[in-house]
Structure 1
Amino acid sequence: MSLRRRNLMLATAALPLAGRILARPALAQNRRATTLRLVPSTDLVSLDPVFSTALVAVQHGYHVFDTLYGVDSAMRPQPQMAEGASVSDDGRIWSIRLREGLLFHDGAPVRAADCAASLERWSRRDTFGRAYGAAVDRYDTSDDRVLRIHLKRPFPRLLDAIGKPHSAPAFIMPERLARSAPDQPITEMVGSGPYRFLADELDSGNLIAYARFDGYRPREGNPEWTSGGKVAHFERVEWRVIADKATGVSALQQGEVDWVENLPADLEPLVARNSQVKVENGDPLGTELVLRFNHSVAPFNNPRLRRFVMAVVQQVDYLATVTGGKSEDWRECKAMFPCTIPGIEELGRQDFGTLAGNPSRMAEALKATGYAGEKVVVINAADSAAIAPLGLVTAERLRQAGLNVDLQDMDWGTLLQRRLSKAPADQGGWGIYHSTWPSIAIANPVLNTTVRGEGERGWPGWYESAEMERLTAEWLAASDDAARDRLTHEAHALALREVPSLPLGIYFPKTAYRTDLQGVLSGSVRYPWNARRA
């Protein structure tokens, strides 16, 4: 029996079960009009959206926090907490004026000092942030409503940096929290965003709850992505964590929840028959599937072996599995940058999948890498509908290619902890894991965490390349589009030679919600603002 058919049968069987699992007073009809109930893709493991790049942490961050700048649908930075910004003639002093009346959830006013401390903490964690932080000389916060950023050198893309929409945005928090150790996640959630985090209701693996912040002052204008008027129409937002995807979809169909963040492809046929549920693409730019190598230990500290893996796997195998075989929901992209981003070329057409289906050439190529039979530990997030199939495909393809593969399933939270280990495979380490990245989050050399060469400071996997970092720095300093295009091409070519990570193609995840929910916005995560009952 196919995996898809089995899941459909499980989903059908789960229909009467969902009500028994979710029935509780909080879902009573008298609260339905004022409460938005969402099933997130995974449980919220880390509350700190600056510390964690996980999609669910970023989504949580946009409920609780706000940013000085956001982006519109064309990815242009727009003032958010800021009224606007000005820059000195020499490009070395930026002045950002805060909107009047901004408050934190504890009632304290948002000050320039809070913004400076928040940007300083963010700049120690984020890839774009580190480039920004290296250019900062000091902050002037003598006027509570004006943040002055003094730079060592011009940094033309400053607003792009502090307004980036994903992984991890430059969220503003109180100075007392932002001054905490940057290598430790914060656990007290005090922001200035449209919703307050209800810490006393947190029930790990079951419920995450938020209450509308009545002190929030949305901007005027229509909302687009992370900018514009963030009007919170619901008094309360509840995330209902449901590990079994079929049960979550059943709850949606019965109206026990309003929204399923990420609809598994094999359950889409069930939902499509329900006239009370709407299915649509959540992000028009799509999401890239990514295989991440561990560069710190054998066997993938060997670039020849990484190039071998690129040559033996085929993107279509992963894409078809994640999307249930619906070719209209995916796009092959033989490139190290997302093909949905304007200007990106498929430079890897001669590199991806060239050995697939040819066992004799495969065996010869593997021998040439110097691979000595070391164990390849693939850690796999079995509780994620989008990620779980990736580990299965990789394990099968690499075994067929002659590698000694050990596939280890675990939940996403455990994987996030395990991937921090640099131990050898036989001592609790790992060789490969898979993740997903919204295309907008890896759109250019400075943003693309999957190819940045930051080593110890970078994304777990710890690819280190002084050459990649040099190209990134030059890209940031470039004064015209032609120079940036040339440098993007050079960084792209370097990534194809060294394979820091392996892109597995782009898919367009579906989100599903009840038809009486209006104002749902597209973006790299599901935003709580603008959504309202019909």
Structure 2
Amino acid sequence: MKRRSLLMASAAASLPLPAVAQNAGARTLRFVPQANLTLLDPVFTTAAVTITHGYCVFDTLYGVDNQLRPRPQMAEGATTSEDGRTWLIRLRDGLRFHDGEPVRAQDCVPSLARWSRRDTFGQTLGAAVDAWEAADDRTIRIRLKRPFPRLLDAIAKPHSSPAFMMPERLARTDPATQVTEMVGSGPFRFLRDEYVSGSRATYARFDGYVPRTEAPEWTAGAKRANFDRLEWVIMPDPSTASAALQAGEIDWWEQALPDLLPVLSRSRNIRVQVQDPLGFIAMARFNHLHPPFNNLRLRQAVLSAVTQDDFMQAITAGDARAYRQCLAMFPCGMPGVKELGAEALRPPRDLGRARAAIREAGYAGEKVVIINPSDYPSIAPLGRITADLLQRLGMTVDLQETDWGTLLQRRLSREPVERGGWSLYHTNWPSASIANPAVNTTIRGQGAEGWTGWFENAEIERLTEAWLSASDDAEAQRLFDEVHRAALDAVPILPLGQYFVSTAYRSNLSGILPGSAAFFWNVRRA
């Protein structure tokens, strides 16, 4: 075996570190998440609130630093064979699950296998894997059919959905079935007896967690839990959450409503900061299985009518500093991303021409069912704006308002609208989670095995495979651009702009890290 990317931790990483002493009144961190926690399995769903929950309970073999580079987390490091077809990943010493059992390679192997059947990048990696194996209790062996140089990037991806490690008995759950028993090896234990969907979720510090010694960055480094308890308080009404934060009844509000930021910023007891400096991408997702949006020409006509400013101003209270037009199918500002959609997306828009294009596409008055989460302030306005736009374009629209948890369940339905299905819904993705062709779930053409909406495009899949195998940077950029152009032509989504969410917390907290989710390690109270 030859060492190639040794990303090793120091030997001291296995030494336990003392918990930070805190007085009894400061041992609970009270947090208001962006939405209600309804689905608990962070491999089963891409929902952001579930991913945040996942980082409390579970851990990953590799994380990423502030530059999104893979760094060892549960792993000591990795080696790969001379021909690039065998990888060995060695686990750190002292890792334990919340039930007291040691973390073994025999747990990680089925965890990786299950994740590789659910996740977009995981499916691409899984197609190249000949076997996931446990060489011994602490060594994971991955045998490949062909070299896969970006293997560590795949298992280190920070969002939607990360490769979380679970006990073997849970990891062997069918990928199409949710895991509901929450036993991980992360810094917090999930207190199932205290969980009430729509009201609260509670976690306790896992005293058996052994942090790394490196400084924490994004999802890598030391994950030191400085609170005995973490309580999520579900508050769908933004005014209630804002008042509770100002009164000191909660400590941290994950996504503060833009309209309320001026009031919060004036309080000396509250700090406001951008949650993720890379931003979020807002989008509308089509259902590609059924009319009317299984019609490519119709999707192209609707894209020609979109004005991103309309959507962005609605969710940022018109603050031009909080968003940008992003005329692309990838997040602007990320490596390799060019605004290749400028011609298709740049205003002003000609609605008369779009109406004519819709008629020419053969639209026959089919009902467009938009499912929209009324309890999700950064998404709810998007559905209402799209409903108005489609009505002005002459389409028959049925806007169905629901809560976010119900939407997450309903979007799994592949039935036509007459049998409870849907035509379109809106969501957002952290830029880091869709930054390149392999991870961009929203434009991947995996059909029935892909993201809800089930967009199928063999050419995008072929180009993505070629990008993963590119021999040099120039070739990789050429293929990246080809993937991008193919996505702009096929219109799997409507890109609605890039925006920057503010998080708000009490000024006696420190150590809140930027990232694509809320991270509760490193946070302490003064």
Q: Same fold (TM over 0.5)?
A: yes
Equivalent residues in 2 for 1:260-279 (5 A)?
260-279=253-272
Counterpart for residue 82 of structure 2:
89
Out of 203, 211, 216, the position equivalent to 2:209 is 216
2:399 paired with 1:419: no
| Deviations, residues 423-448 of structure 1 (Å, cap 9, x unaligned) | 22233221110000000100011100
The answer to whether the 8 A contact 1:286-1:340 is kept is no
Question: How big is each residue's C-alpha offset from its partner over 1:5-27, in whole Å with a ceiling of 9 and x where there is no partner?
Answer: xxxxxxxxxxxxxxxxxxxxxxx
Could you tell me which residue of structure 2 aligns to residue 280 of structure 1?
273
**Structure 1 residue 419, shift from structure 2 partner:** 1.2
| 2:108 aligned residue | 115
Q: In the alignment, which of 34, 53, 62 is matched to residue 55 of structure 2?
A: 62
C-alpha separation in 2, matches of 1:56 and 1:217: 25
Tell me which residue corresponds to 1:526.
Answer: 518
Residues 131-170 of structure 1 mapped to structure 2, 5 A cutoff: 131-170=124-163
Distance 1:397 1:470 in 2: 34
- Note if 1:239 corresponds to 2:255: no
How has the CA–CA distance of structure 1 residues 463 and 359 changed in structure 2, closer, same or farther, with 3 Å as cutoff? Answer: closer
Match of 1:329 in 2: 322
Q: For 1:94 and 1:214, locate their aligned partners in 2 and report how far apart those are by CA, in whole Å.
A: 32
Residue 342 of structure 1, CA deviation: 2.3
Return the match for 2:478 from 458, 473, 486.
486
Cα deviation, residue 139, structure 1: 3.0
Verify: 1:501 aligned to 2:525, yes or no: no
Deviation at 1:405, TM superposition (A): 1.1
- Quick one: structure 1 residues 200 and 487, their matched pair in 2 at CA, closer, same or farther if it must change by over 3 Å? same
How far did 1:135 drift?
1.3
Q: Distance in 2 between matches of 1:360 and 1:80?
A: 54
Say which of 67, 78, 84 aligns to 2:71: 78
Work out the number of aligned pairs and report it.
Answer: 505
Within 1, Cα distance between the matches of 2:153 and 2:23? 43
Q: Structure 2 vs 1, CA of residues 360 and 189 (structure 1 numbering), >3 Å: closer, same or farther?
A: closer
Q: Residues of 2 paired with 1:85 and 1:222: CA distance?
A: 20
TM-score by length of 1: 0.93
Q: In structure 1, how many angstroms separate the alpha carbons of the residues matched to 2:99 and 2:258?
A: 42
Structure-1 separation of matches of 2:259 and 2:79: 50
CA drift at 1:284:
0.5
Please give the secondary structure, in 2, of the residue aligned with 1:511.
strand
| Deviation readout 1:198-232 (Å, 9 max, x if unpaired) | 01111111110000000000000110000001111
CA shift, 1:498, in A, is: 0.8
Aligned-residue sequence identity (percent) comes to 58
Q: Structure 1 residue 502: deviation in Å?
A: 1.2
Partner amino acid, structure 2, of 1:44: L
SS of residue in 2 equivalent to 1:502: strand
CA drift of 1:460 comes to 0.8
Match of residue 293 from structure 2: 300
Identify unmatched segments of 5+ residues in structure 2.
1-21
Within 1, Cα distance between the matches of 2:275 and 2:347? 32
C-alpha deviation, 1:360, in angstroms: 3.3
Q: Secondary structure at the match of 1:473?
A: helix
Structural RMSD (CA)? 1.3
Q: Distance in 1 between matches of 2:203 and 2:73?
A: 21
Equivalence for 1:20: none
Range with greater deviation from structure 2 (260-269 or 345-354): 345-354
Query: Aligned partners of 1:334 and 1:32: how far apart in 2?
Result: 49
- Indicate how the Cα distance of structure 1 residues 139 and 284 shifts in structure 2: closer, same or farther if over 3 A, else same: same
Contact kept? 1:310, 1:353, Cα under 8 Å: no
Shift of 1:340: 2.2
Higher mean alpha-carbon deviation, 383-392 vs 146-155, is at 146-155
Shift in Å, 1:485: 0.9
Task: Check the 8 A contact 1:376/1:404 in 2, yes or no.
Answer: yes
Match of 2:508 among 508, 516, 521: 516
Question: 2-side partners of 1:418 and 1:147: how far apart?
Answer: 37
Deviation for aligned residue 1:244 = 1.1
Q: For residues 351-370 of structure 1, what are the structure 2 equivalents within 5 Å?
A: 351-352=344-345, 356=349, 358-370=350-362
Contact 1:290 1:434 in 2 (8 A): yes
Runs of at least 4 residues off by over 4 Å? none
Q: Are the equivalent residues in 2 in contact too, given 1:355–1:362 (CA < 8 A)?
A: no
Gaps of 5+ in 1: 1-28
